[in-house]
Structure 1
Amino acid sequence: MIYIDIERICAHISFLTLFSVTLAHWVAPTDRPHKLNGLRGKGMTVAFICTTVFMLLRWIQTKHLPLSNLYESSMFLSWSFSLFYVATRVGNSNDWSGAVVAPGAMLTHAFATSGLPEDMQQSTQLVPASQSHWLMMHVSMMLLSYATPLCGSLSAISFSIIYFDRGGRISNSESSNRFSYDGGVASMGMTGANHNKENTNAEKAFFYSLSLNLRKCKLINQLDQWAYRTISLGFSFLTIGILSGAVWANEAWGSYWSWDPKETWALVTWLIYAIYLHTKITKSWGREGPAAVASTGSFLVRIRFLGVNLSGIGLHNYGWLTQ
C-alpha cells in the first residue's frame, strides 16, 4: 500500500513539474532570461527523477519491467521524453529544443494519469507470452522508437512552419522598399533633419529585419539538424525493436512475422523514416521534402502507439486494454 501512495505522489509531482516547464517554454522566450532557462532544466530534472522513482517502485512491486499495460507504457514514454530533454541540455546552452520535448512529456503523462480509467492504472501480472527475457529488449526499444522519432518529427514540423512563414520575407521586402523609397525621396530634395531622420529610421528597420531573418535561418538550421539526428537515433531503436520482436514472436507464436496490425504499422513507420533518412543523405528533395516525410512519420507513430492498441484487435492487444 505504501508503494502505491508513493507512486501517486511521484506521478502528481512529475505532472505538475512537466506542466510548469511546458508553460515556461511557451509563455516566455526560449533564449531569455537565462535564469528562467536554469529553472526549466531543474524542473525537468525533478520530473525525470520522480518518474524514475515511480518506475522503480512499480518494478519492485510487480517483479518485472513495468510495461505490462497502456498506463505503464505511457509513463515509460513520458520518462523517455524527460530523459531526452535532460540529455540534450548537457553541454548545450540553447534551450529551444525543450519547447518541443517538454509538451510531449507533459501530454503523454496527462494521458496516462488522467485519460485512463483507475482500473487500468493498477499493476497486473504478465500474460504467459510476455514472460520472456525479450520483454525488456523489445518493448523498451519500441517505446524509445516512439519518443525519439516523435521529437524529431515535431522539430521537422516546426522547421516547416518557420521555413514557409512569409512574415519574415515580407518584412524584409517592406524594409528594403522603404529604404529605397526614403533614399529616392532624399535625392528629390529632402534636406536637413527630415532627411537624416527618415534615413535613420529606414536603416533601423532594415537592419532589424535582417537580424530577425538571420536568427530565423539559424533556428531553421538547428531544427533541421536536430530532427535528422533524433530521427536517425529513433530509426536505430525501431530497427532493433522490430528485429527483437520478430525473434520473440517466433519463440512465442512460432512465426517471425504474422502481419499483425501492430507489426504492419511498425513496418510502414520504418519505411517512412527510411525514406526520410535516404532523402536527407542524398539531398535529392531539398529541405522541404524530408520535412514533409518526417511530418507523416509523426502521424504514423501516434497510430502505432494508440490507434492500434485502442482498436482492440491483433495479437498485441493483450496487456493494453485487456487486463
Structure 2
Amino acid sequence: MDIAVAANESLAEFSNLLIKSAMAVYALAFVAHIVEWVFGSRSRVARTATALTANNTANNTAGNTTRSTAGKETAGAGVSVTVRTSGGTDVLERPKVVTRSAPGRRAGVPDGPGAAGGDERGDLYGRIAVSLTVLAFLLHFGAVLTRALSVQRAPWGNMYEFSTAFSMVAVGAYLGFLIARKNVRWIGLPLVTTVLLDLGLAIVVFYTESDQLVPALDSYWMWIHVSLAIVCGALFYIGAVSTLLYLFRDRYEAKLEAGGKPNAFASSVLERLPSAASLDGFAYRINAAVFPFWTFTIIAGAIWAENAWGRYWGWDPKETWSFITWVGYAAYLHARATAGWKGRRAAYLALIAFLCFLFNYYGVNVFFDGLHSYGGV
C-alpha cells in the first residue's frame, strides 16, 4: 500500500518565491521589449511598399510586350522574353508574371528585420530583453521543479500548477526557436505580456497549496497525458500569436498593394514583422506539427480514463471540449488543403480552434462540474 508523502512546505514556499521573482524579471523584459520597439520605430523601413510597388508594376506591364527580332530580348514584367526562330517561324516565349502565391499571400514581399528595425540602440534593448527572458525562464523552471520536489510528483496536478508549467513551456519553446536561429524575436513582446497575465492569474485566482493528488490522478499517465497537453497548448499559443499578427500584416500589405497609405505608427511596427506569407507559413507548420500530438493526447486521456473510471469516453466537459478543439484544428488543416480556404479565412479557423483550447483550459474548470473538477480550480 502506498503511503502519501507529506508536502515539503519549505520547498513549496521557495517555489512561490521563485515564481514571484520570475514575474519581476519578466516585467523587466517587457519594458526592454517596449523600449526595443520604440527605438526600432525611429528608423523607417519601406521594403514592403517597395516590393509591392515593383510587383504591381510588373503585373501591369506583363502581357504588353511585343515580339522583337530574332535573338533579341524584350522586357515583360521584369522577365526577359526571347524570340527564337525555328524553321523560319518565330516562337514567342510566355513571360513569367509575378503574382500572388495564394489568397492572402504575396510573392516577393520581404520579411521585416524584427523589432530592432536596424537601429543599434533598439537592437541593444532587444538583446537585453532576450537575456532577461532567459533569466526569468530559469527562475520559472526552478519554481516548477521545486514545486514538484515539494510533493515528489508531476507539477501539474491542479490549475495553478498547470498554468505555471504551461507558460514555462511557451517561453522555453520561444527560446528554443531563437537558439535554432529562427526569426521569432517579434514573439517576445506578446509572449512576456501573456506570461505575466498567466502567472498573475495563477497566483491570484488559481493558487492551490502544495499537496498530494487524489488516487485517480496518481498514475504514470499524469506524466504522459497532462505533459503532452501542456506542450501542445504552448505551441498552439505560439501558432495563434503568429496567426493573429498575420491578419494585421496581411491587411497592411493589402492596403499598400491597393495604393493606400497606412498611418505612421502602424507602418513602423508592421514593417518590422515577417511578411504575411512568412507568418502564415510559420503558424501553419506549427499547427500541423502539433496536431498529431494533440490527437495522441486525447487518446492517452481516454486510456487513462478507462483505468481510472472504467470507461474510455463519457462526454465529460473536459473530454468534450478537447474533442471540439481537435475538430477546430482538423478543420483548419483541411481548409489549408482546400483551394478556396487559404489565407485569412483559414486563419480565422485557427484562432477559433485556439479559443476552444483556452476555454477547455480555463472555462471548463471554472464553469462546469465534471470528473476533472477535482484537479482544482
TM-score (structure 1 length as normaliser): 0.80
Which residue number corresponds to residue 52 of structure 2? Answer: none
Please state if 1:301 is matched with 2:309.
Answer: no
CA distance in 1, matches of 2:371, 2:328: 23
Find 1:85's aligned residue among 162, 167, 174: 174
**2:216 aligned with 1:129, yes or no?**
yes
In 2, the alpha carbon distance for the partners of 1:167 and 1:92 equals: 26
CA contact (8 A) 1:148 1:233 kept: no
TM-score (norm 2): 0.69
1:162 positional shift? 2.5
Cα 1:300/1:26, change in 2 over 3 Å: farther
Cα RMSD of the aligned pairs, angstroms, is 2.7
Contact 1:154 1:298 in 2 (8 A): no
Quick check: 1:228 aligned with 2:287?
A: no
Task: Check conservation: 1:309, 1:317, Cα contact below 8 A.
Answer: yes
Unaligned runs of 5+ in 2: 1-8, 38-114
Are the counterparts in 2 of residues 276 and 293 from structure 1 also a CA contact under 8 Å?
yes
1:233 and 1:104 mapped to 2: Cα distance?
23
CA contact (8 A) 1:153 1:297 kept: no
Change in Cα spacing, 1:256 to 1:168, as seen in structure 2 (3 Å) is same
**Structure 1 residues 104 and 281: CA distance shift in structure 2, 3 A:** farther
Q: Paired residue for 1:153, among 240, 260, 273?
A: 240
Q: Does 1:105 align with 2:198?
A: no
Q: Distance in 1 between matches of 2:361 and 2:269?
A: 38
**2:369 maps to which of 313, 316, 322:** 313
**Are 2:325 and 2:357, in contact at CA under 8 Å, matched by a contact in 1?**
yes
Question: Structure 1 residues 262 and 25, CA, compared in 2 at 3 Å: closer, same or farther?
Answer: same
Kept after mapping to 2: 8 A contact 1:81/1:102: no
- Bigger shift: 22-31 or 141-150? 22-31
Query: SS where residue 341 of structure 2 aligns?
Result: coil
**In structure 2, distance between residues paired with 1:276 and 1:26:** 33
1:47 corresponds to 2:149: no
Partner of 2:33: 25
Q: Which aligned runs of 4 or more in structure 1 are off by greater than 6 angstroms?
A: 211-214
- Larger Rg belongs to: 2
Q: Aligned partners of 1:174, 1:62: CA distance in 2, in Å?
A: 58
Structure with more helix by fraction: 1
Code of the aligned partner of 1:152: G
Whole-angstrom CA distance in 2 between matches of 1:84 and 1:174 = 36
Q: Any gaps of 5 or more consecutive residues in structure 1? A: 176-207
Residue type at the aligned position of 1:271: V
CA distance in structure 2 between the partners assigned to 1:139 and 1:94 by the alignment: 27
Tell me the equivalent position of 2:67: none
